[in-house]
Amino acid sequence: MRLDHIGIAVADLEAADELLARLLGRAPYKRETVSDQNVSTSFFTAEAENAKIEFVAPLQAAGAVHKFLEKRGPGLHHLAFEVDDIRAEMTRLAADGFELLQSEPSPGADNKLVCFLHPRSTNGVLVEICQSIGSHD
């Protein structure tokens, strides 16, 4: 199986398109209405040749993932986008009004530096940007 798409429910498709276009730096490649499901859809390319699915579980009864599980139970937790220069992207996104949860990148899993954006500035979905700092193993 190969990941095809991640579906995110939004109330205002145009506003969601505009926000993700600003985040990714590219426009949706198609919009389509599916009357059978009573929805309008839009699609962005994910540049996802190397995309992975990451499970995250709390190590102890504290921290963001523990709190998330307590409140919502298991489910989609975040989207992560790899960037070439995380500090440059943090500066660009902050200047564009996104709410960064940290002022400096921090160490992530899989040989990455990471920075999170608050879900209230990204349509209710937590976004991680990450920069590779070594080889995958």
Ligand X SMILES: CC[C@H](C(=O)O)C(=O)SCCNC(=O)CCNC(=O)[C@H](O)C(C)(C)COP(=O)(O)OP(=O)(O)OC[C@H]1O[C@@H](n2cnc3c(N)ncnc32)[C@H](O)[C@@H]1OP(=O)(O)O
What residue is closest to ligand X based on CB?
Answer: 108
Q: Does 5 bind ligand X (CB under 6 A)?
A: no
- String of contacts with ligand X for each residue 54-73, x by CB under 6 A: x-x-------xx-xx--x--
Distance from C-alpha of 47 to C-alpha of 5, rounded to nearest angstrom: 11
Distance from C-alpha of 5 to C-alpha of 32, rounded to nearest angstrom: 15
Helix (H) / strand (E) containing 107? strand 106-107
Contact (Cβ atoms closer than 8 angstroms) between residue 10 and residue 113: no
Q: Figure out which of the listed residues 20, 80, 117, 126 binds Co ion, where binding follows CB under 5 A.
A: 80
Q: Does 112 bind ligand X (CB under 6 A)?
A: yes
Q: Does 117 bind Co ion (CB under 5 A)?
A: no
The helix/strand/coil state of 53 is coil
Q: Does 16 bind ligand X (CB under 6 A)?
A: no
Q: How far is CA 119 from the centre of its chain?
A: 9
Q: How far is the CB of 46 from ligand X (least distance, A)?
A: 16
Contact (Cβ atoms closer than 8 angstroms) between residue 124 and residue 131: no
Binding site for Co ion (CB under 5 A): 54, 80, 128
**Which positions lie near ligand X, rule CB under 6 A?**
54, 56, 64-65, 67-68, 71, 77-78, 80, 101, 108-109, 112, 114, 116, 118-119, 124-126, 128
